[in-house]
Amino acid sequence: MRDTPPVFRRGLAPCAFVLAVVLAIWIISGVSAGDITTFVGYEIGFVLLPGIALLWALRGRSRGSLLTIAVGWPLGQTLEILAFSATAAIGARGLFVIYPLVVIIPSAFFIWRRANAPPRDLDGESTSHWAMWTAAVALSLGVVYLALAFLPQVPLPSTSQSVSYYVDFPNFIGLTAEVRNHWPATSPGLSGVPLHYEWFVFEHMAAINQVTGVSIPTIGFRLDVFPTILVLGCQLFAVGRFLGRSAWTGALAIVVAFLLGALDLTADLNQTSPFFDQFNFHLWASWTFPFGLIFLMALLALIAERLQAASWRASGALGSWVVIVLIMVGASGAKATVLPVVIAGVGLYAVWELIALRAIPVTAMVTLGLTAVVFAVTFVIVYGRGVPGTTLDPLVPLSHTVPVTVAASISSHAVRAVALPVAYVAGLAGIMLPLAGMLYLLRRRHRDELRRLRFCLCLFAGGLLLANVVHQIGSSELYFLDTGYLAAVIVAAAGLRIAWADLGGVIPMSRRGALVALAGWLILVVMVVLITSPTLAHPAGLLVRYAAIAVLAGIFVVGCGVVLRPSGAALPGVLALALLPVLAACALTSPIQLAATIGRAMGGKSLTVTQPDPQTTRGLTPGLVVALNWLQDNTSVNTIIAVSNHWINPGETDGRYYYYSAFSQRNVFVEPYTPDDYGLQNPPLTAGFVAFLHRVMLNDLVFDHADVAALHVLTDQYDVRYLLIDRLHHDADPALLQLGRIVLTNPDATIVAVG
């Protein structure tokens, strides 16, 4: 497709609509006009423009502004992160502000030399007005869903009321502050100890803070998530149009990704999913996940283009390979699961081609070699040659689903042996339900379409395989599954597009009739949920609810077959009508989960989910905010503090309290009392684990017993200069106040200067 002026103008209104939705969300959520302006200016000047400039310099201009953004944005983020890391490493952070010029000016020379070259064609069919608006509305609604799920969880720190966050969010803020203040970055909650982690998204946010001065909580809790989702939507549209040869495939990919969810018809957003995995939940709960996905989508498009080329050394291929390698580097530190999924997917693709063509797939092997080299190098540099807690443990994600949980509890061994395999299949089906459109491509007449999308299928299979072979701390193997899931979204969208085209023909129902039936199914599923909610308990009760919906769907399909078969309707076409109840159930997942939040909004109530009683929920109290702000304003960024509390729950069983390092932006002697958070495993009893236990012992001696000798160890060996006593969550021995100088005290917190 040529991005002619009429087509470009036709896309302006849909794009403006989506941007207006995001702008409204920012304003409603309390972001100032100044912060919005400087943030947007940074994203354009330090990410988008350098990325597009280098992309055009290396590959020439592409037809399609959306595809240019889809590839140029992650390339720009790679450049931004490399520049930020380099200037921080040499102790010249101020030089970072000139990095865009260092990229754009030389790139402009090469772009000028290519001025007469024809644009590269990497698009599908012409983009219709309706497809653009469908994509825009779907993406806008997805952004609203994300805002309703995320923003109530992250009220900004307040000196007037207590707030509490999902456990990982303070950790993310602390990691961003650590990268902003120190190089090389170490663990903010275990001072001086290296932390090998997915740092790149935090480096990106730290770079924004360094250049614009916008506060880190505002960047993390308000601003940064939405551009990432917009770019991801842009990529789905552009890559879906390219691989699916239709703009409607791209538009429907946005619908599948953001508006359909795994089977979870519960009215509590924070409740454990009955099918364990939630792609949509990870979009806002894990800041590294959506950041990694934008690199994956760029790699998907670029690698698919190379695999379709006549030769890996085709004319102009060198620039594309350079772009691929750079984006692989960005992907490696953005999310650890991306490159393993790419390796598995390309490997499966190579096997497929070897069997189908009986020839060595050279391009696939070259891609596999490049990916393996980049992964190996970055695995050493970024992850320190290991990901602690990774073990071989097949089918762990599926074992947590409702069908498997219920089947495993059956007392009869014989019945359980029969039920468990069926339950595992049902568990996988519940997770993958939004991808049901893929099944429509299994028909013989659609094999050519399926063949064009085989790389997407291989990535999906690779993610599914990895997720069900390895197990990681905190069930992080789910990210393998969800990474591959996004590639499968394009295949599912292609299936739905073809099914829509077949309505009134192969599928024996008119399009109007299908829309009416879909509306009826939406109403029916809501009625089932309302009827069963007062009596059914999670998880066994939910299994009954889902079984009831499945039975009703079966009755619907059989009934349609009975009515339509006498008129000559083909059985595959009748079976395709099962997509209607599936789509209804998937489309209601997010609205039902967000029902409580939407109800508060419509009732004019505060959307903030947690305004906790500090005696029962250990969050961030007003007095504690004052104390942490004092540390941030009155101490050096190299100051180390020790803290009295380490637990997020009153029972002191969950030692993942990250608030102190996050909102003081200072390193803590030992903050969480959970060794897994530092990559420490026991067994084996490593030196690092012993050192951690020693810190815990010293910290307890100081705060619980005012031990003078232990305090001297903290100040002399670990350079601790301040003691922060959290008076509400875990007070200290009163004698401790005599061992230093009180510099701040209020009902919530006391800070004692020592050393």
Distance CA 223, CA 218 (A): 6
* Selection from 350, 387, 465, 48 nearest residue 196 by Cα: 387
Q: Encode pLDDT of 329-373 as tens digits.
A: 999 999 999 999 999 999 999 999 999 888 889 999 999 999 999
- 246 and 572 in contact (C-beta within 8 Å)? no
- What DSSP state is assigned to residue 676? G
Distance CA 735, CA 144 (A): 52
Query: Token digits for 305?
Result: 């283009």
What is the H or E stretch that residue 107 is in? Answer: helix 99-113
- Cα-Cα end-to-end distance for the chain: 68
| Interacting residues of 305 by C-beta distance below 8 A, sequence separation 6+ | 122, 242, 320
Q: What confidence score (pLDDT) does residue 8 get?
A: 57
| 684 upstream amide cis, omega within 30 of 0 | yes
Q: What confidence score (pLDDT) does residue 611 get?
A: 47
How far, CA to CA in Å, does 497 sit from each of 136, 400, 502? 17, 33, 9
Q: What confidence score (pLDDT) does residue 390 get?
A: 78
Instruction: Count the Cβ atoms, other than its own, within 10 Å of residue 547.
Output: 12
β-sheet bridge partners, residue 641: 668, 722
- 244 and 124 in contact (C-beta within 8 Å)? yes
CA of residue 191 relative to chain centroid, distance: 28
Pairing of strands 640-643, 720-726: parallel
β-sheet bridge partners, residue 722: 641, 753
Distance CA 223, CA 217 (A): 9
CA of residue 520 relative to chain centroid, distance: 33
Q: 3-state class of 443 per DSSP?
A: coil
- 301 and 238 in contact (C-beta within 8 Å)? yes
Q: What confidence score (pLDDT) does residue 750 get?
A: 98
Q: What confidence score (pLDDT) does residue 309 get?
A: 83
Low-confidence ranges of the chain (pLDDT < 70): 1-10, 63, 115-126, 268-271, 315, 385, 388, 534-540, 565-569, 604-617, 682
Helix, strand, coil share of the chain (percent; to 5): 65, 5, 30
Distance CA 514, CA 583 (A): 11
β-sheet bridge partners, residue 742: 752
Average pLDDT along the chain:
89
β-sheet bridge partners, residue 751: 724, 744
Q: What confidence score (pLDDT) does residue 568 get?
A: 64
pTM of the model: 0.94
Distance CA 46, CA 2 (A): 28
How far, CA to CA in Å, does 694 sit from each of 419, 624, 698, 701, 714? 48, 27, 6, 11, 11
Distance CA 204, CA 210 (A): 10
Q: What confidence score (pLDDT) does residue 4 get?
A: 47
| Residue 476 burial (C-beta neighbours within 10 Å; 0-12, 13-18, 19+) | middle
Q: Encode pLDDT of 509-526 as tens digits.
A: 889 999 999 999 999 999
Give me the helices (H) in 260-401, please. 279-285, 288-308, 317-334, 338-357, 362-381, 396-399
Distance CA 489, CA 233 (A): 12
- What DSSP state is assigned to residue 47? I
Q: Encode pLDDT of 417-447 as tens digits.
A: 999 999 999 999 999 999 999 999 988 788 8
Distance CA 255, CA 239 (A): 14
Long-range contacts at 278-285 (CB < 8 A, ≥ 24 apart)? 279/434, 279/482, 279/485, 279/486, 280/145, 280/146, 280/149, 280/589, 280/590, 281/149, 282/478, 282/479, 282/482, 283/146, 283/229, 284/146, 284/149, 284/150, 284/153, 284/225, 285/166, 285/168
